[in-house]
A and B are shown apart, each in its own frame.
Chain A
């Protein structure tokens, strides 16, 4: 995705800051979060990259990244961050944004495997809350 005036002027930053309560704009890209992250090997975007993409408003790139779901919320980044940011909250913010794409990311029960179906009702309730309670 290309950086354009539209991406820079988009509401993504405002949105994720509102959900996470973290001042994403204050990230200075020092990379210390990525430097200490134990899940780094499994990520396609490094944590500091997610922050940068958020500052530039590149929503699609973030939304299709595995990183949001790989983050283990271990808070190592939060403990290290020089700008006092908690990246696990930012990741959760993006997960919420992804889940709340109302109607756009539904799944038919037939697509689920039998093992998944066993937990489906409980998960559906939780996802419903996350998705529709704003």
Chain B
């Protein structure tokens, strides 16, 4: 993938929990709600399955943005999984910020299985944010 800013198409990795956000993405599909194709979804059983190292690996491999999406706090299919997500990833966010990564590049959102429109909106907004920031140069492996 080119690092040039001209015609920059960001690559965004979305970790979606199977029960809420992945279902929300399905609903966005069923409802034919368009969002940018820059978003690539990786299915995980629960947002708490997302190891911070997965996020860093994505940035290393050239992702321009990463989003982790789970059930709303309190609605986790596994009762408490997303509470861990919230804690772990807030720490990661601070770490990334400390490393000089724009905080907008890494986001955590709660999208339920009935929020197809919200899924499409969040992905559209995220893509716009990342597009404005330009490519991720800091964390990617040397080309």
Whether A and B touch (Cβ < 8 Å) is answered with: no
Q: Which residues of A contact B (CB under 8 A)?
A: none
